[in-house]
């Protein structure tokens, strides 16, 4: 249901608006002055606002400017209600960010039509936002595992690394690789390999802390970012990840497979790691050390 704010200090006009909007199926919040309307707009999910030009405490034009001066998650369609009909006044209203006008005394059929126009525009805006979200998801996530992709996980690591420098707190990385994954693909086919990747990704995501991030770095390699975490604690979290992957066999179309991972950790507390490239390089190096140690283990360097 579309939520409409009515900001009108004239009681009779406000009552007529409320009666008609209720009849047409809108959810209504009414206010008597611009200051109260501004408070409501900041607290509620208002989609259409009908604003009187002349109101106590803050007039409609000033209120429009404040609304347009702030970034909102969704567009607010603004209709100005006024007795003013001069071209100069209309231009002033549009310059403030008004979408449409209704002059007093208003015709209810005209009001209904203008509200329907606002409703259509809001619908189109929501479709656009949904499309943008889907495009953002495609651009930042791996299509198979739905984890962050390599580009995005490295972007996040860059941000976390710079924040760690500003706040003088460590950030750690964990690189992990599925043991003998090529053998799985060669023996059972890529469909089974994909099933393994999807389940491993799910177990990793479900084990990490809320503010940690994990992405598919490439192939069967994954990179986890652990903000505020020193090397010792990174090793503990990596061990939890290892156990989460191998604790239960993974169900696939080829049957239940026992899957293990090798993990390597690095931390910015090591002062010689002066960039994200160092963190990634040495967590990757530690991971290969884990493989050389027999796989299915954690090495923290």
Domains and CATH numbers, the chain: 3-139 (3.40.50.2300), 150-300 (3.30.70.270)
Query: If you ran DSSP here, which 8-state letter would residue 149 be given?
Result: -
CA–CA distance, 104 with 98 (Å, rounded to integer): 16
pLDDT (0 to 100) of residue 71: 83
Partner residues linked to 48 by β-bridges: 4, 77
Residue 159's pLDDT is 96
CA atoms within a 13 Å half-sphere pointing along the CA-CB vector of 28: 20
What pLDDT is attached to residue 299?
97
User: d(Cα 45, Cα 253) in Å, to the nearest integer?
Assistant: 47
Closest CA to 262 of 290, 282, 289, 234: 290
What pLDDT shows up at residue 254?
95
Q: Which backbone phi and psi does 248 adopt, to 5 degrees?
A: -135, 145
Alpha helices in 34-168 (DSSP H): 34-43, 60-68, 87-96, 108-140, 150-167
Position 89 scores a pLDDT of: 67
pLDDT given for residue 86 in this prediction: 64
Residue pair 214/142 in contact (Cβ under 8 Å)? The answer is: no
**Residue found under tokens 């090397």:** 231
pLDDT by residue for the chain (301 residues), tens digit each? 889 999 988 899 989 999 999 999 999 999 988 899 999 999 888 999 999 888 888 888 889 999 998 888 888 999 988 876 666 767 777 888 888 888 888 888 988 998 999 989 988 988 888 888 888 888 999 999 999 999 999 999 999 999 999 999 999 999 999 999 999 999 999 999 999 999 999 999 999 999 999 999 999 999 999 999 999 999 999 999 999 999 999 999 999 999 999 999 999 998 778 899 999 999 999 999 999 999 999 999 8
Q: Which of 100, 4, 17 is nearest to 47 (CA)?
A: 4
Report the pLDDT value the prediction gives residue 239, as an integer from 0 to 100: 97
- At residue 157, the pLDDT reads 97
């Amino acid at each position: 249901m579309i939520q409409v704010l009515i900001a009108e200090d004239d009681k009779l006009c406000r009552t007529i608006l409320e009666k008609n909007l209720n009849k047409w199926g809108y959810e209504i919040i009414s206010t008597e002055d611009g200051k109260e309307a501004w408070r409501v707009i900041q607290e509620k999910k208002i989609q259409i606002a009908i604003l009187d030009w002349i109101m106590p405490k803050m007039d409609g034009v000033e209120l429009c400017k404040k609304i347009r001066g702030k970034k909102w998650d969704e567009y607010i369609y603004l209709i100005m209600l006024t007795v003013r009909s001069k071209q100069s006044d209309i231009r002033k209203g549009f310059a403030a960010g008004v979408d449409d006008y209704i002059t007093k005394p208003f015709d209810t059929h005209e009001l209904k039509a203008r509200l329907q126009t606002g409703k259509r525009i809001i619908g189109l805006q929501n479709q656009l936002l949904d499309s943008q979200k889907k495009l953002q998801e495609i651009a930042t996530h791996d299509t198979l595992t739905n984890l962050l992709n390599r580009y995005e996980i490295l972007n996040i690591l860059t941000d976390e690394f710079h924040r760690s420098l500003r706040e003088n707190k460590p950030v750690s990385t964990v690189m992990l690789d599925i043991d003998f994954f090529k053998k799985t693909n060669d023996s059972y086919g890529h469909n089974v390999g994909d099933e393994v990747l999807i389940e491993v990704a799910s177990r990793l995501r479900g084990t990490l802390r809320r503010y940690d991030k994990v992405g598919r770095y490439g192939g069967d390699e994954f990179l986890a970012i652990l903000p505020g975490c020193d090397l010792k604690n990174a090793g503990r979290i990596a061990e939890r990840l290892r156990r989460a992957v191998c604790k239960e066999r993974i169900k696939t179309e080829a049957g239940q497979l026992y899957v293990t991972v090798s993990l390597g950790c690095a931390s910015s507390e090591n002062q010689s790691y002066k960039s994200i490239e160092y963190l990634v390089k040495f967590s990757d190096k530690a991971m290969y050390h884990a493989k050389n140690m027999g796989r299915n283990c954690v090495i923290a360097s």
